[in-house]
């Protein structure tokens, strides 16, 4: 809302400086977001008089003006505006000065004519947002004066952000009322003297409301024999300073009153109203109306219209129809002042995607009581400035008007709620400053709410008003006195943070948008499955995305992590190792086929009681090239599957997860044969693998890209929260013995593990693969695998003999079960 | 004559030692003088041929010679050993200014770091951490938080919808409703989390992070709210900041306030970041609206409380002088490694 200081002064005395006032308003909840000092910009603009006006000798569209700028100085200025005439007073800016927007004016010669300055439009001066032609000044100004001095513009406009609960402040009077309250004044009321003719309005117009719920009150007034012309300068100045465009006296008056009192009005060309009847009704389904902006609007049966006997003439509270629009030919005016139910206006405005100054105010709530005063005020202005006759009275239709609301407030509650002791007399005074009527009854006060405060409903609303006027700053902060409470992080979040901390040692944590692009999704999901290793179902779509590229909700971190890799490759960065944690989404109907294969317990629920789509916390990690910075020490670690596997495995071990297993399993986004399911106690919790070459090709990144994803929600269900028990360590050294066997190539290490673990050997502490070899002299289709076995006893230092039996047992079992050969 | 011989051998030995540069030569020298057929050993063998007097005198001189020879050789040995070690060390010395191994490393995202920091402060103030879903019911995101249907307050949030009743939460406040439905006061929680709004420019991201805080009990006041936020913000920015509470409007609190802190960049003197005002808008807060407490069936005569919400991006941008919110979501390593 824009508020012009000089306009505010009609209602309230302002002794504070503009800046001080802005501070006070901001601290009272009317945040001043900007101040436009109108006058300061005009000290280099002077009043000039056009002495001579000629066509440019060599250019048809231009004029050459000889402008008197006082002190017998005349300047030649070229101008293209067509509204100039000899003798007109105009704002002139001379070469060497700059316009309010900073544009500098220079002397130029165009086709042999010199131009030593510029004539200005309102728009160029920042006095209006749009204007055509040069600003023709009132004739009583002194030539040569600066515009600031001549127009007495020591004025400023506040740009105030009005919160949705305060429609009463979408007006000059509303803001003035706040200023009065915070500076302890009484608002100056506007007095109007109606100059009516004897003919009553009801002689000319009939009004009927068909839907009192949507339109509880409608007032029509009639002004006869008006003249359409320009409105006076003072009115144009005020409405244009407040961001509206001056059009003609009638339109300007309705806008002026809208700005001044916050009540939207509408003027109809009375002679175009069929049968002189106004009917407020809901539209017929698919009823059409051409609105003032010349657009055809198709309405629904719930939309409210203003109609005459045959047609709708306005969409109630939003925009008038073009058929009954006031035009240069208009003689008689029907003025509407009405109250519409806010939700109705909002629904229609949203549906039509059409919003106006009127609808903005109606949907926030207007003052139903004040309708008549505003109608009178506007009608009188129309009669005066349009030189017309105001018919007596009005047609005012309503069933009943709401009684003033009374709210009880226990004054003790003010202290209990705010934590500050505001004396009762101040409580009462603050409310009275805001035009509440206050009665005292024992420990309580009863406040009658003024009709413009549609936001006040209960005692807390009153406390807010009291605190606002008292000043939030005067409420001192205190250290709360309360029972001791222990702040905790639950086990879920604790584990989540701990995992993040662990991963952050190796990977950069990234945070990406939770959206993905359908193009990328379809690239990978050929069969339109969800692309989540854990769930099956449909991908979720946003109904109103910012763009098509961000219209799907991620079912996996894969896409965004690939894009992160790509961005960093494009930037020629290295150390491409990233992880992300957070929610993945989907319309989940079932577990995936993979999950079905592995999960043997239904520990994850698939629907919430509120039927919200599924969301789970996941963890995604990716590594790609370049991973290492090239170094003078030739490093021996290589970027491959096993590097990522190491980190994931260590992560799980570090958090004491048991039964960790990686099993070969193909997933659509991994290269077949380099892809695994991550299991904990035979339950699927994650996947790991090398990104499929087809995907690599699309993203144009290194083929050495490996990705792993874990379902954290599932992981947590398997997490042991209790502290681990200490496992006593042996005081004796270990002994190592190796075994090398030749087995079929397709036998996986997991198989060997299973054989060994099944033996359940107490002396065997650990074992690990030290070599895998294929090729000569090993026969085709076979591989040599060498395993180190570590033996240890808790009772003694083991000798060769002590372990012979165990070691031989392992060897025999492997040879037997794997049909292994030895070298 | 024998004495002369001793002198000759002594000089020869000293000469040999001076010329000796390695262990092998030294061993040869030892053998030359002290070996079985060595010169000094030879002198000792000659003793038998001398008269007892000569023997006594000469014997003493030879023994002195022998001891001296042993000592000279031993000294030389030590000297050589020391030199050998020095040479080895020299050979093995490295350029310590060369870089260490380059493995790969990582870091937490700056938003996570600031979020952890905020959580720590509130844990210390006795608040616990609560979370909620990112896809939320319209009812919890709006209606129960006193945003009626068809109310202009809904325009304050540009909302992504999944369908008519399900949306991407626009703030962390629905977790207030969830927490209050689950348990009875006292409740003292903070809620960090992702939120979504369809809005995107230099200072707005469609995905961003908030921390919600609320405390519901019998006697929690507006002054307590000011107290908690003052303590929190001073700790967060490690500065004895001045705060300004301005009345504002949020549907789910009343009275509502916006909180400004003294600009951390110019100490309140006015700069471009605070638009010359000296103040930075940092969070929104207020006393929980009675309609919200009623929505979860709390006795509004008995219970009252406060709530606040702040943007983690905003705080992180201020703490680290970051001027573009998109940097958080681009994830360029050159950005990430700075925190």
Looking at this predicted complex, what is its ipTM? Answer: 0.88
- Rounded to the nearest angstrom, the minimum Cα separation between A626 and chain B is 10
**Which residues are CB-neighbours of A325 under 8 A, at least 6 positions away?**
A269, A292
3-state helix vs strand vs coil in chain B, percent to 5:
45, 20, 35
Residue B167 domain-assigned?
yes
Residue B98 domain-assigned?
no
- Tokens for A570, please give them: 């494009």
Instruction: pLDDT tens for chain B, 339 residues: list them.
Output: 567 888 888 888 889 889 888 889 999 999 988 888 888 888 888 877 888 888 888 888 888 888 998 999 999 999 999 999 999 999 999 999 998 887 888 999 999 999 999 999 999 999 999 999 999 999 999 999 999 888 888 888 889 999 988 999 999 999 999 999 999 999 999 999 999 999 888 778 999 999 999 999 999 999 999 999 999 999 999 999 999 999 999 999 999 999 999 988 888 888 888 888 888 899 999 999 999 999 999 999 999 999 999 999 999 999 998 989 999 999 999 999 999
**Which residues are CB-neighbours of A34 under 8 A, at least 6 positions away?**
A158, A159
Residue B103 domain-assigned?
no
B144 plus B206 within the same structural domain: yes
- Rounded to the nearest angstrom, the minimum Cα separation between B246 and chain A is 5
Residue B99 domain-assigned?
no
Q: Are A764 and A734 in contact (CB under 8 A)?
A: no
Mean pLDDT of the A560-575 span: 94
Pairing of strands A45-56, A59-68: antiparallel
B74 plus B127 within the same structural domain: no
A400-403: long-range contacts, CB 8 A cutoff, minimum separation 24: A401/A217, A401/A368, A401/A369, A402/A368, A402/A369
Burial of residue B98 (number of CB atoms within 10 Å: 0-12, 13-18, 19+): exposed
B114 plus B80 within the same structural domain: no
Please state the domain count of chain B.
2
Integer Cα distance of A123 and A280 in angstroms: 39
- Tokens for A42, please give them: 């005009």
Which domain-ending residue is among B29, B58, B92? B92
Integer Cα distance of A215 and B255 in angstroms: 31
Asked, as a colleague might, if the bond just before A635 is cis with ω within 30 of 0, I would say no
**pLDDT band at residue A130 under the 50/70/90 scheme:** confident
B59 plus B125 within the same structural domain: no
B289 plus B231 within the same structural domain: yes
| Residue tagged 């130029």 (tokens) | A108
- Reported as a single tens digit per residue, the pLDDT across A133-180 is 898 888 888 888 888 878 777 789 999 999 999 999 999 999 999 999
Integer Cα distance of B142 and B155 in angstroms: 11
Integer Cα distance of B12 and B19 in angstroms: 11
Q: Are A255 and A239 in contact (CB under 8 A)?
A: yes
B188 plus B301 within the same structural domain: yes
- Rounded to the nearest angstrom, the minimum Cα separation between A19 and chain B is 11
Whole-angstrom CA distances from A204 to A201, A221, A335, A376 are 6, 9, 12, 17
B319 plus B176 within the same structural domain: yes
| Residue tagged 């991620």 (tokens) | A554
Integer Cα distance of A317 and A338 in angstroms: 8
B60 plus B190 within the same structural domain: no
A511·B328 Cβ contact <8 A: yes
Residue B97 domain-assigned?
no
Which residues of chain B neighbour A543 with C-beta distances below 8 Å?
160-163
> Could you tell me which of A712, A639, A649 has the C-alpha nearest to residue A678?
A649
A506·B104 Cβ contact <8 A: yes
**Which residues are CB-neighbours of A286 under 8 A, at least 6 positions away?**
A298, A299, A300
Residue B102 domain-assigned?
no
Convert B273-288 to b/e letters by CB count within 10 Å (16 or more is b). ebeebbbbbbbbbbbb
Integer Cα distance of B306 and B212 in angstroms: 11
Q: Where are the alpha helices (DSSP H) in A655-732?
A: 693-699, 712-717
Among B226, B270, B301, the residue to mutate for chain A (most A Cβ within 10 A): B226
| Residue tagged 């096993």 (tokens) | A642
Integer Cα distance of B132 and A514 in angstroms: 16
- Reported as a single tens digit per residue, the pLDDT across A666-709 is 888 999 999 999 999 888 899 999 999 999 999 999 999 999 99
pLDDT at residue number A590? 66
From B127, B134, B331, residue closest to A512, measured CB to CB: B331
Integer Cα distance of A276 and A283 in angstroms: 19
B260 plus B158 within the same structural domain: yes
**Which residues are CB-neighbours of B13 under 8 A, at least 6 positions away?**
B29, B33, B69, B72
Which residues of chain A neighbour B280 with C-beta distances below 8 Å?
none
Which domain-ending residue is among B63, B92, B121? B92
CATH number, domain at B212?
3.30.930.10
- Reported as a single tens digit per residue, the pLDDT across A276-308 is 999 999 999 999 999 999 999 999 999 999 999
For residue A410, the tally of other CB atoms under 10 A from its CB is 12
Residue B86 is part of which domain span? 2-92
pTM equals 0.84
Which residue of chain B comes nearest to A574, CA vs CA?
Answer: B333
Question: DSSP E strands: which ranges in A592-651?
Answer: 614-623
B71 plus B120 within the same structural domain: no
> Could you tell me which of A541, A540, A583 has the C-alpha nearest to residue B194?
A583
Residue B254 domain-assigned?
yes
Residue B205 domain-assigned?
yes
Q: Are A613 and A540 in contact (CB under 8 A)?
A: yes
3-state secondary structure of A118: strand
B153·A164 Cβ contact <8 A: yes
B154 plus B220 within the same structural domain: yes
B36 plus B179 within the same structural domain: no
């Amino acid at each position: 809302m824009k508020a012009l200081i000089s306009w505010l002064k009609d209602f309230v005395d302002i002794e504070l400086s503009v800046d001080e006032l802005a501070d006070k308003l901001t601290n009272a909840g009317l945040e001043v977001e900007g101040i436009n000092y109108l006058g300061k910009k005009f000290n280099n603009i002077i009043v000039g008089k056009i002495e001579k006006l000629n066509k440019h000798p060599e250019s048809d569209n231009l004029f050459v003006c000889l402008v008197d700028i006082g002190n017998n100085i005349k300047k030649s200025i070229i101008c293209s505006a067509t509204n100039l005439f000899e003798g007109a007073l105009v704002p002139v800016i001379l070469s060497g000065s700059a316009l309010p927007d900073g544009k500098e004016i220079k002397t130029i010669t165009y086709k042999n004519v010199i131009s030593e300055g510029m004539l200005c439009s309102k728009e160029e001066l920042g006095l209006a947002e749009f204007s055509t032609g040069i600003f023709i000044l009132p004739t009583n100004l002194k030539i040569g004066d600066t515009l600031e001095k001549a127009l007495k513009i020591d004025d400023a406009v506040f740009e105030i952000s009005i919160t949705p609960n305060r429609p009463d402040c979408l007006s000059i009077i509303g803001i003035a009322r706040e200023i009065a309250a915070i500076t302890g004044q009484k608002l100056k009321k506007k007095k109007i003297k109606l100059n009516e003719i004897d003919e009553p309005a009801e002689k000319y117009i009939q009004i009927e409301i068909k839907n009192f719920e949507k339109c509880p009150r409608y007032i029509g007034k009639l002004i006869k024999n008006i003249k359409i012309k320009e409105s006076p300068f003072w009115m144009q100045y005020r409405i244009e300073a407040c961001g509206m465009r001056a059009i003609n006296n009638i339109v300007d008056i309705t806008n002026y009153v809208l700005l001044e009192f916050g009540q939207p009005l509408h003027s109809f060309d009375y002679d175009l109203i069929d049968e002189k009847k106004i009917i407020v009704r809901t539209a017929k389904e698919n009823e059409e109306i051409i609105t003032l902006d010349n657009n055809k609007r198709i309405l629904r049966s719930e939309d409210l219209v203003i109609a005459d006997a045959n047609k709708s003439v306005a969409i109630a509270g939003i925009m008038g129809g073009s058929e009954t629009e006031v035009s240069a030919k208009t003689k008689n005016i029907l003025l509407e002042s009405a109250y519409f139910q806010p939700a109705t206006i909002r629904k229609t405005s949203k549906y039509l995607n059409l919003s106006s100054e009127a609808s903005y105010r109606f949907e926030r709530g207007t003052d139903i009581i004040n309708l008549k005063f505003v109608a009178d005020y506007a009608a009188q202005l129309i009669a005066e400035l349009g030189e017309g006759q105001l018919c007596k009275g009005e047609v005012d239709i309503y069933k009943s008007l709401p009684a003033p609301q009374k709210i009880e407030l226990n004054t003790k509650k003010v202290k209990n709620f705010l934590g500050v002791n505001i004396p009762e007399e101040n409580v009462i005074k603050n409310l009275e400053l805001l035009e509440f009527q206050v009665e005292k009854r024992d420990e309580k006060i009863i406040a009658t709410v003024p009709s413009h405060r549609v936001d006040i409903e209960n005692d807390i609303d009153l406390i807010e008003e009291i605190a606002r006027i008292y000043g939030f700053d005067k409420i001192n902060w205190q250290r709360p006195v309360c029972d001791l409470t222990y702040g905790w992080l639950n086990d879920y979040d604790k584990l989540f943070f701990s995992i993040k901390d662990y991963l952050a040692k190796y990977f950069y944590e990234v945070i990406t948008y939770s959206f993905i692009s359908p193009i990328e999704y379809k690239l990978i999901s050929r069969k339109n499955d969800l692309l989540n290793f854990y769930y099956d179902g449909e991908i979720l779509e946003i109904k109103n995305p910012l763009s098509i590229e961000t219209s799907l909700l991620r079912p996996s971190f894969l896409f965004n992590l690939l894009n992160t890799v790509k961005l960093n490759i494009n930037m020629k960065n290295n150390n491409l190792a990233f992880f992300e944690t957070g929610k993945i989404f989907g319309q989940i109907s079932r577990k995936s086929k993979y999950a079905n294969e592995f999960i043997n317990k239904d520990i994850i629920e698939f629907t919430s009681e509120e039927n919200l789509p599924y969301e789970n916390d996941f963890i995604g990690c990716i590594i790609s090239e370049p991973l290492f910075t090239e170094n003078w020490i030739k490093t021996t670690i290589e970027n491959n599957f096993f590097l990522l596997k190491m980190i994931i495995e260590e992560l799980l071990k570090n958090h004491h997860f048991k039964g960790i297993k990686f099993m070969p399993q193909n997933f659509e986004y991994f290269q077949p044969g380099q892809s695994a399911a991550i299991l904990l106690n035979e339950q699927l919790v994650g996947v790991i693998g090398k990104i499929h070459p087809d995907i690599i090709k699309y993203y144009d990144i290194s083929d050495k890209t490996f990705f792993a994803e874990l379902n954290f929600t599932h992981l947590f269900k398997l997490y042991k929260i209790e502290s681990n028990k200490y496992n006593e360590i042996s005081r004796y050294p270990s002994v190592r013995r190796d075994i090398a066997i030749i087995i079929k190539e397709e036998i996986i290490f997991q198989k060997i593990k299973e054989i060994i673990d099944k033996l359940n050997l107490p002396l065997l502490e650990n074992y690990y693969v030290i070599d895998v070899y294929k090729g000569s002299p090993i026969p085709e289709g076979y591989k040599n695998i060498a395993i180190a076995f570590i033996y240890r006893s808790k009772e003694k230092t083991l000798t060769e003999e002590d372990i012979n039996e165990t070691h031989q047992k392992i060897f025999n079992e492997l040879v037997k079960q794997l049909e292994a050969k030895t070298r | 004559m024998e004495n002369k011989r001793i002198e000759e051998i002594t000089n020869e030995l000293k000469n040999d030692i001076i010329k000796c540069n390695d262990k092998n030569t030294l061993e040869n020298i030892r053998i030359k003088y002290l070996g079985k057929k060595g010169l000094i050993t030879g002198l000792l063998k000659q003793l038998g041929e001398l008269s007892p007097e000569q023997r006594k005198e000469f014997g003493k001189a030879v023994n002195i010679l022998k001891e001296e020879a042993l000592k000279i050789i031993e000294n030389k040995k030590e000297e050589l050993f020391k030199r050998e070690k020095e040479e080895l060390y020299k050979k093995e010395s490295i350029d310590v200014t060369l870089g260490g191994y380059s493995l790969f490393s990582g870091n937490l995202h700056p938003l996570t770091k600031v979020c952890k920091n905020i959580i720590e402060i509130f844990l210390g103030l006795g608040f616990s951490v609560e979370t909620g879903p990112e896809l939320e019911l319209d009812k919890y995101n709006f209606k129960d938080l006193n945003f009626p249907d068809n109310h202009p307050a809904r325009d304050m949030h540009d909302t992504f919808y999944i369908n008519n009743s399900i949306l991407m939460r626009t703030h962390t406040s629905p977790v207030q409703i969830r927490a209050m439905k689950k348990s009875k006061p006292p409740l003292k929680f903070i809620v960090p989390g992702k939120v979504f709004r369809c809005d995107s420019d230099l200072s707005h991201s469609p995905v961003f992070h908030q921390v919600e805080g609320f405390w519901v009990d019998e006697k929690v006041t507006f002054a307590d709210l000011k107290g908690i936020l003052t303590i929190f913000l001073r700790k967060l920015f490690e500065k004895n900041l001045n705060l300004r509470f301005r009345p504002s409007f949020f549907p789910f609190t009343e009275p509502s306030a916006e909180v400004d802190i003294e600009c951390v960049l110019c100490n309140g003197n006015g700069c471009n970041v605070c638009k010359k005002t000296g103040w930075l808008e940092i969070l929104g807060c207020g006393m929980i609206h009675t309609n919200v407490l009623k929505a979860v069936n709390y006795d509004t005569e008995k219970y009252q409380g406060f709530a606040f919400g702040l943007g983690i991006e905003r705080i992180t941008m201020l703490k680290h002088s970051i001027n573009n919110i998109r940097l958080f979501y681009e994830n360029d390593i050159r950005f990430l490694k700075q925190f």
